[in-house]
Amino acid sequence: MPETDVKPSPAAPTLVTGTGKPLSVTRLRKTYGGVTAVDEVSMEIAAGEFVTFLGASGSGKTTTLMMIAGFCEPDSGSIVVGGRDVTRLAPQKRGLGFVFQQYLLFPHMTVWENVAFPLQLRGVPKAELRRRVGETLEMAGLSAMARRRPRELSGGQQQRVALCRALVYRPPVILMDEPLGALDKKLRDQLQTEIKRIQQELGLTVIYVTHDQEEALVLSDRIAVMRDGRIDQFDTPQELFERPRTPFVADFLGAANFLPGHLEERSDGDAHILVRLDTGGLLRARPQAAAGGARVRAAVQPGRLALCPPGDGFCTGTVETVTYVGTLVRVTVRPLGGANTEPVRLELPAGRAPALGERIGLAADPADVSVFPDVLPDPEHGG
């Protein structure tokens, strides 16, 4: 393992923390030949916050990032970093940090020179430059390879160098464009932890772009879920996961099951709302504004469903497939009753796997059930 000789060491106490500045984006818009890539995107990002733009390719997340970086000019809207309007500035005048998916280290410079480069541009005195480059490399566990060339490093090490190069000059905001996209799973997990640690230690404001929802959930203080150039929901991971505001968010973050049905009239002062599913069962959902009788789709994450004796839950069905995924087992259940029903997906602890063909009931905590009016486009679309 080329990574094992790198031992992350605690940050030097002299490192300046809290360098992150707030960033605000107002009604940002960009069209490419009549196609709207980014449509009126607005958001406020606090200093020291880790924000992720999450979306599929073509959702406008990268375009938004490129506009913040200055690599592409918005048609309208404004970008303010730490109180300074940078909307029309060239990238080199914005002073932001950028970490690219392809690392883009300078091949003719050593690791040390790569990290020193932005400081040299700023005319930092030699002694201070040496100290700051040294501290930054040490923090990323790269001190031992300061004299190597980028091509002599593994992908993970190269991306660490790129990270050092982006934060050594203490930019107000660091932008990261799928920085771990080219790495394998194990390394990605390791670097996620490290990015998060450095970001928290130094109080960096980070905007991170990814299409990997798991990565977004692990890293972010808040996630902006993007679709078709718009922000569907901008919230903490917990809010997004537990209270998705659109079917798209429910589907994208947790690959939710969507169960069609209609709302029952509320009865006996029950705090929950009741959904009569097309398969015949009655599902309790958390309280939310909805009119009785309306067609709805109830969304439940596969991991929030539980098994119960047949007839007890909101749905009874037969086990169709059982797939082991490490400590989890993925199960699909074909509901009985009702025509053309989709199978329901579950994730259970590996020890609780039902047998194939077994008749079981499904239950869900009402707090985990979201209800959406059935007028929006199909969640599969664009996902």
**Least CB distance from residue 159 to other proteins, whole Å?**
13
With beta carbons less than 8 A apart as the criterion, state whether 329 and 348 touch: yes
Nearer to other proteins, 7 or 108 (CB): 108
The rounded Cα 99 to chain-centroid distance in angstroms is 17
Out of 12, 144, 350, 376, name the contact with other proteins by CB under 8 A.
144
| Tokens 């005048």, residue located | 93
Nearer to other proteins, 148 or 196 (CB): 148
Q: How far apart are the first and last CA of the chain?
A: 36
Segment near other proteins (CB under 8 A); pick from 74-82, 145-153, 208-216, 312-320: 145-153
19 forms part of the interface with other proteins (CB under 8 A): no
Written as six digits, the tokens of 36 are 């709207």
- CA-to-CA distance for 208 and 61, rounded, in angstroms? 9
122 forms part of the interface with other proteins (CB under 8 A): yes
Candidates 280, 263, 262, 281; CA nearest to 272 is 263
208 forms part of the interface with other proteins (CB under 8 A): no
- CA-to-CA distance for 118 and 122, rounded, in angstroms? 7
**Least CB distance from residue 147 to other proteins, whole Å?**
5
With beta carbons less than 8 A apart as the criterion, state whether 154 and 1 touch: no
Out of 31, 47, 100, 245, name the contact with other proteins by CB under 8 A.
100
- CA-to-CA distance for 136 and 130, rounded, in angstroms? 10
- CA-to-CA distance for 359 and 346, rounded, in angstroms? 15
**Least CB distance from residue 62 to other proteins, whole Å?**
13
* Stretch 42-71 residues interacting with other proteins (CB under 8 A): 69-71
- CA-to-CA distance for 142 and 154, rounded, in angstroms? 12
Segment near other proteins (CB under 8 A); pick from 103-111, 228-236, 320-328, 347-355: 103-111
Segment near other proteins (CB under 8 A); pick from 97-105, 247-255, 280-288, 335-343: 97-105
Q: What is the dihedral of CA 183, 238, 65, 105, to 10 degrees?
A: -30
Strands 50-54 and 97-99: what pairing?
unpaired
**Least CB distance from residue 323 to other proteins, whole Å?**
39
Build a one-symbol-per-residue string for 147-176: x at contacts with other proteins by CB under 8 A, - elsewhere.
xx----------------xx--x-------
SS3 6: coil
Out of 11, 15, 46, 104, name the contact with other proteins by CB under 8 A.
104
243-273 as b/e: b if 16+ CB within 10 A: bbbbbbbbbbbbebbbbbbebeeeeeeeeeb
Segment near other proteins (CB under 8 A); pick from 11-19, 52-60, 112-120, 235-243: 112-120
SS3 352: helix
Out of 3, 113, 221, 239, name the contact with other proteins by CB under 8 A.
113
With beta carbons less than 8 A apart as the criterion, state whether 295 and 275 touch: no
Size of the site for other proteins (CB under 8 A): 33
With beta carbons less than 8 A apart as the criterion, state whether 177 and 100 touch: yes
107 forms part of the interface with other proteins (CB under 8 A): yes
* Stretch 77-96 residues interacting with other proteins (CB under 8 A): 90-92, 95-96
266 forms part of the interface with other proteins (CB under 8 A): no
146 forms part of the interface with other proteins (CB under 8 A): yes
Out of 34, 57, 108, 271, name the contact with other proteins by CB under 8 A.
108
Contact footprint for other proteins (CB under 8 A): 5, 69-71, 90-92, 95-98, 100, 102, 104, 106-110, 112-113, 117-118, 121-122, 130, 144, 146-148, 165-166, 169
